[in-house]
Structure 1
Amino acid sequence: MTDRTELADFLSRCRARLAPADVGLPPGARRRTPGLRREEVAQLAGLSVDYYARLEQARGPQPSPQLLVSLARALRLTEDERNHLFHLAGHEPPRTRRTLTHLQPALLLILDRLHDTPAQVVSKLGDVLAQNRMAIALLGDRSQLPPRERSVMWAWFTDPASRERFPAAEHEELARSHVANLRAVRAAQPDDAEAAELVDELLATSEEFAELWARHDVATRRSGRKTVLHPVVGPIEVDCEVLCGARDGQLLLVYTARPGSESAGRMELLRVLGSQQMTETPSR
């Protein structure tokens, strides 16, 4: 059962302790009260302002587990605070890592501070866990996709549309890179049921994956270069770097264009345009 009164109070107090800079937002006009505005939390969590307002007014419906995960990330909750949020909403805290992996506030802070550079946090199996605004603008918003489809690995081998953002000449190398990285993860953690399940499902679903898996190529994800075919600003050649690894095999990926290049100019244009035009079709 949802404790609406306690849930409303907890959400309000968590919102009040955050400044816009804490979540990568500009300070904006003078604020009459401390903390984020309700509309800012709603934007960060991918909710309507009305829905979030009703939660803080203790008159909203019971939030789903997926919505609670979004709120926990938007409010930069610690793992203990996230679990408390789940209990107040009448749910058991998540125990599966694929769909409900918790991100530490410190890692989210790094993501927010990279306000002019596309960056996202992914799991060791390629699940996109969080994106900053520039990553959404460059690659599309994955937060609203079903849990399985947030996996770059799964989408690449099961959904032809996932390859539309990349030149056909790069498809083979990207596919090989995905499989080689998964092979390295699988070998390093042979008892990981999640990795084993993903491999088995891809083997049963994708002939291309099965052929590449049989080659036994191994390469841990560290860096690479790719071209993103952005439908608004045009092709952008980016270097993808793994800057740090966090707990539970989470990786921070940062995408940069070479200074002075045409791609750098298009990246700057993309920053100016913002993410509004690129929330429809994510690059998978």
Structure 2
Amino acid sequence: MSEFGELLRGWRDRLSPVDAGFTATNGRRAPGLRREELAQLAGLSVDYVLRLEQGRARNPSAQVVGALARTLQLSRTERDQLYRSAGLLPPRDGTISTHIPASIQRLAVRLGDVPIGVFTADWTLVWWNAMWCSLNGDPSALPAEQRNLALALFGNNGPALPPMETERGLDVFEASIVADLKDAVSRYPADGQLDRLVQHLRAESKAFAHHWVTEFAARHTSEQKTFHHPDVGEILLDCDVLLAPGADLRMVTYTAATGTTDAGKLDLLRVTCAQTTGAGNHVLPGPRGTRAIDAGR
């Protein structure tokens, strides 16, 4: 077994299935996550995870290592150790991190009955739960580089947002996203991917270019959004953006007041979600969701 495989196996055994979003049962023999559970959450095939653990697959990509580090809820130091054991350089300082601390993942798992998405500083979606899929569509259907809110808002050929209306209006919503990207550029000047995103959108979108040169900076506040959902119709939800300053992450949540019609519609989505996934609190983390791949081929 290689060093990478030993680390993978040890950290898999350490992680509680409950903290990963699974229901613990008395019949479990594995002390932590089962191999198939790790594979599902990281978006890899079970065979590929087995070969990684046994040392038969020796060149995992940075994307695969990042997905495994997030799924295993590693600390930043442990994440860097996993990268080095794979012969890769850890993510550089001065660039946007996709690392999600274990505490943030545990919090999100325990709030699994509401739609939750976790975004990086450039508004790239890196973690979501099953309820997020029920409300917004399944992000795993998109390539990882296209799971970006700014691309959805301003790109001509990128992903589309679900049909919805915002309480303060689309223009204010757009301005707030651009203000966040401007702030990210000032704090992460070495991030080439962020620079390419901004240059692409400035060239492609007149609205983005206008907001970019406007001094007005719209700040995120709690607001209501109306979704036009294909299954439950119009649903009005409170949208909150919770910041994790130390990790520079944004956790977006959608809730409805108890006893309202909208809460009933959210309950209906929850039931549909449970029937589809087999567990209403099952987590679908980025970057590849539940779409299993064999990255070794």
Amino acid at match of 2:79: R
The amino acid across from 2:219 in the alignment is T
Distance 2:150 2:231 in 1: 25
Q: What is the deviation of 1:157? A: 0.6
120, 124, 128: which one aligns with 2:117? 120
User: Any conservation in 2 of the 1:120–1:254 contact (CA below 8 Å)?
Assistant: yes
User: Compared with structure 1, are the counterparts of its residues 116 and 187 closer, same or farther at alpha carbon in structure 2 (3 Å cutoff)?
Assistant: closer
1:227–1:237 Cα contact (<8 Å) kept: yes
Which residue does the alignment assign to 1:178?
174
Q: Residues 189 and 205 of structure 1: is their aligned pair in 2 closer, same or farther, counting only changes over 3 Å?
A: closer
Tell me which residue corresponds to 1:19: 16
Asked if structure 1 preserves the Cα contact closer than 8 Å seen for 2:167 and 2:225, the reply is: no
State how far apart, in whole Å, the 1-side matches of 2:172 and 2:134 are.
26
Sequence identity (%)? 36
**More moved, 205-214 vs 105-114:** 205-214
State the Cα distance separating 1:106 from its structure 2 match: 1.0
Partner Cα distance (2:99, 2:127) in 1: 10
Describe the superposition over 1:170-201 as per-residue Cα deviations: whole angstroms up to 9, x where unpaired: 59923431323422662697464356654443
Q: What TM-score, normalized to structure 2?
A: 0.80
Q: Secondary structure at the match of 1:252?
A: strand
Which runs of 5 or more residues in structure 1 are unaligned? none
Are positions 1:83 and 2:80 aligned together?
yes
Q: Which amino acid aligns with 1:31?
A: R
Q: Which runs of 5+ in 2 are unaligned?
A: 278-283, 290-297
Aligned to 2:61: 64
Contact 2:97 2:120 in 1 (8 A): no
Partner of 1:68: helix, strand, or coil?
A: helix
Higher helix share: 1
- Point out which structure has higher relative CO (alpha carbons under 8 A, 6+ apart): 2
Deviations 1:80-105 (A, max 9, x none): 11111111112111227767521111
1:77, distance to aligned residue in structure 2 (A): 0.6
TM-score, normalised to structure 1's length? 0.83
Residue in 1 aligned with 2:280?
none
What root-mean-square deviation, in Å, do the aligned CA atoms of Structure 1 and Structure 2 show? Answer: 3.0
Could you tell me which amino acid in structure 1 is paired with residue 172 of structure 2? R
Deviation (angstroms), 1:220: 1.4
Q: 1:274 matched to which residue of 2?
A: 273
Count of residues in correspondence between the two structures: 275
